[in-house]
Structure 1
Amino acid sequence: MRKKSIAALLYVISLLPFWFLYGISDVLFIILFYVVKYRKKVVLENLRNSFPEKSESEQYTLAKHFYQFFPDLIVESIKMRTIHAADVIKRIELVNPEEVLRHFEQGKGVIGVTAHYGNWELGIHRLSLMTDYPRLVIYKPLNDKDFNEVYNALRCRFGATMVPMKQILRHIVRLKRTPHISMFVADQTPTYQDSDYFMEFMNQETLVYTGTERIARLTKNPVVYCHIGRKVKRGHYYCQFTTLVEDPDQYGEHEITRLHNNFTERMIRKQPEYWLWSHKRWKRKRRI
């Protein structure tokens, strides 16, 4: 019953036109930033630690810019429920799809890597509309099972397959001889059971996932970064693909992991406001 209520509410909101949704977003910004101060301490602490060279005033301005973007991400993600394919294509420009398609033409699968940056949610729809080959989106299940199921149904509208992290191996083995893309959102916070590898990321010692590298080595598939940046026009993005690794066997241990995390850091430093600063990214510390 609760799941149906959540699904119905999201459906009704998604029917609203973008101009109306952005009006809601403007109100949400005021509520989240000035009234309830949603995770404001977390955001400011993350920014202070990531940009110690910036003044308090500059860090506060970055936080404000993030909170102005964050509600747009929320309403745009809800809009995914009913958005038309033509509108998805119009709102996310694929700069160089040939960078992924060339691997498919060689009969290879692709290990895709992205981050909680720009509108990665809408990016699932755009990726789904790019090719008819299998599109796997690797995700970490939410604690709220009802919301998890509703949102996964929304993400699959154009053919993506949502795969929990712990089930990725069986799916990739099944597709071993079929061109496909497995997309990892690789900047999440792993548990100590999932990883023991720390590296410098955004000026801080950071526990990072190594699963992307492990799957790349196992399958010998190339690793391609999917950078979803925001254009000046509100609600419009671009997606640029960069092949970071052609042959995983040519790289040493943890080198692939450092490559894609360093790419994410360069992207964040260029336009910090489009990363998910409200995420408690550095809650895991090295055990002594």
Structure 2
Amino acid sequence: MGYLIYYLVLLPLSWLPMFVLYGIGRLLYLIGFHVFGYRKKVVRENIRGSFPDWTNEQVDAQVRRFYRYFFDSLAESIKLFSMSEAETVVRCRVENPELVAPFAAAGRSVIAYGAHYANWEIAALSFSSQFPGMTVMGIYSPLKNEVMDRLIKANRERTGTYVLSRRKVEQYFEENPVRPSLDFFVADQSPSNHAWYKLHWTHFLARTTSFLAGPERYAVRYDRPVFYMSLRMEKRGHYVARLHPVTEHPRETAPGFITETFARKLEEEILRDPTPWLWTHRRWKRGVAPEAAEALKGKAFVPPEYERWSTLPPATSGGEQAPIAG
């Protein structure tokens, strides 16, 4: 069934002009929002909880804005099944790729934090040619349908960006590829299957929120410089990505600093423009662990494991990484 959907529906649709796909997206908006109310309750609760001072009218207006953008981005993502690499770069340019050039020249890999904000699928396909000298690796959660997972993975990789299952991240970092890489974590998922004390808890969008601690642990353990990657829409279907330095020396940062910085930068983006964030995610479905609420007491709760990782010697399997020139 997965192959039939891909070859008989998604791929043929991707050959249509973008304005036609936007028209289909608008039709899907009318059906999905007004008829079936796709996850409307989840979206409204998420927005209401994130903006407690808003009136019902403001919340409802933001819900409609989100759904119009959501189905626009769905139309854009369908186009990606046949979009050329050159067009992906036109549609998503990186403003400052030169920030990682010294690391690439020195043979050092870096970690970039991102989020389900704006059209991250276009961004992922555009990155490979915009970071010369580096392998771009995106960490993702595999789909339950294995056939569709293989097909979508192959499409994501056709421009040179590699994608890696989150289940294989540990192995990937241990192998420590010789070629420098930009390892991209989309880190705003709901970490529902982790014990509360293994998560980073903080105040985010007016409520107590948990974040995965893994990306920071990898940065510290393998001494990888860290960036936050913002993504904003310039105009319909066109985006601009920008790198924001977090730390060049993660082993010198206080435990929790990297994850907390990600949370703050993402919150700034959402408060600036809430529309492109993926509000259909059940971001707060796990609730707040009573122990975490008690441990917070007005500040972020940092997992004890951070301390352990920060005291380990830097991992250099595959050879020590060269220092930055100059």
In the comparison of the two structures, how many residue pairs are matched?
286
> What displacement does 1:169 show?
2.2
1:1-288 map, 5 Å: 2-8=1-7, 9-130=9-130, 131-193=132-194, 195-231=198-234, 233-288=235-290
Change (3 A) 1:196 1:93: closer
Structure 2 CA distance for aligned equivalents of residues 136 and 101 of structure 1: 16
Is the partner of 1:262 in helix, strand or coil? helix
Structure 2 CA distance for aligned equivalents of residues 240 and 30 of structure 1: 33
What are the ranges of 5 or more consecutive residues in structure 2 without an aligned counterpart?
291-326
**C-alpha RMSD of the superposition:** 1.5
**CA deviations over 1:67-111 (Å, ceiling 9, x no partner):** 110011111111111101221111112211112223212321010
What is the TM-score of this pair, normalised by structure 2?
A: 0.84
Structure 2 CA distance for aligned equivalents of residues 75 and 101 of structure 1: 33
Structure 1 CA distance for aligned equivalents of residues 105 and 205 of structure 2: 36
Structure 2 CA distance for aligned equivalents of residues 101 and 61 of structure 1: 42
Structure 1 CA distance for aligned equivalents of residues 36 and 133 of structure 2: 44
Is the partner of 1:182 in helix, strand or coil? strand
Q: Does structure 2 retain, via aligned residues, the 8 Å contact 1:207–1:285? A: no
Q: Does structure 1 retain, via aligned residues, the 8 Å contact 2:104–2:133? A: no
Structure 2 CA distance for aligned equivalents of residues 202 and 144 of structure 1: 33
Q: Does structure 2 retain, via aligned residues, the 8 Å contact 1:207–1:284? A: no
Structure 2 counterpart of 1:236, one-letter code: H
What is the TM-score of this pair, normalised by structure 1?
A: 0.95
Moved more, 235-244 or 175-184: 175-184
Q: Does structure 2 retain, via aligned residues, the 8 Å contact 1:206–1:282? A: yes
Structure 2 counterpart of 1:36, one-letter code: F
> What displacement does 1:176 show?
4.8
> What displacement does 1:132 show?
4.8
Larger radius of gyration: 2
Q: Segments of 4+ in structure 1 off by > 6 A?
A: none
Moved more, 187-196 or 201-210: 187-196
Structure 2 CA distance for aligned equivalents of residues 62 and 102 of structure 1: 41
